[in-house]
Amino acid sequence: MVTTLLITAIVLAVICILGLYSLYTSVIKSKNAVFEALSGIDVQLKKRYDLIPNVLTIAKKFMEHEKGLFDRITELRTQAMSMKSGSKEKFEAEAALASELKSFMINVENYPTLKSDATMVQAMATYNEVEEHIAAARRFYNSALTELKNRIEIFPGSLFASYAGEAAKYSYFETDAASKAPVNANNYL
């Protein structure tokens, strides 16, 4: 009888320890998924940062009087590159850069020669592809962050919240107010 109780107690203790270990590892895996997702965003942003000077160089020869726009994009690119990943400020800087790049692409439409230049067409297609990859990476990041926050906010995972570290404090990527506004087609006609 005592042996059976002792064996049962040991089995229950092992099950509890394994359960707690499983919760601990799930928090760590979720934290690492957030870091992986941020890294994915950074890879895509690096592609964008590398692409911007090339697109601007191609366009400069056609759009000499748009120098202020080129300078602003270059300044925003430098600012966004220097900010800490996962911070709300980085997301805001990226939104400002994306907005200026959209404005630039609209200006390109006003230059038929540039718009039809094969190099510019390829650069614009690459830019659009990079933007799609950035959007996908951001969705993955938000999903990973949601999973981590759920794991550390719901009991018993909350017991291991401290192991999530700095990742638990990261912000979600949210679009700016201008991106949420309805598109007025008259602005592009």
The rounded mean pLDDT for the chain is: 81
- How far apart are the C-alpha atoms of 137 and 60, rounded to whole Å? 30
118-141 tens-digit pLDDT:
777 777 788 888 888 888 998 998
| Residue 188 confidence class, pLDDT cut points 50, 70, 90 | very low
11-53 tens-digit pLDDT:
999 999 999 899 889 989 999 998 899 888 888 888 888 888 8
Between 8 and 186, the more confident residue is 8
Contacts of 84 (CB under 8 A, 6+ apart): 90
Q: What is the pTM of this model?
A: 0.63
Amino acid letter for position 167: A
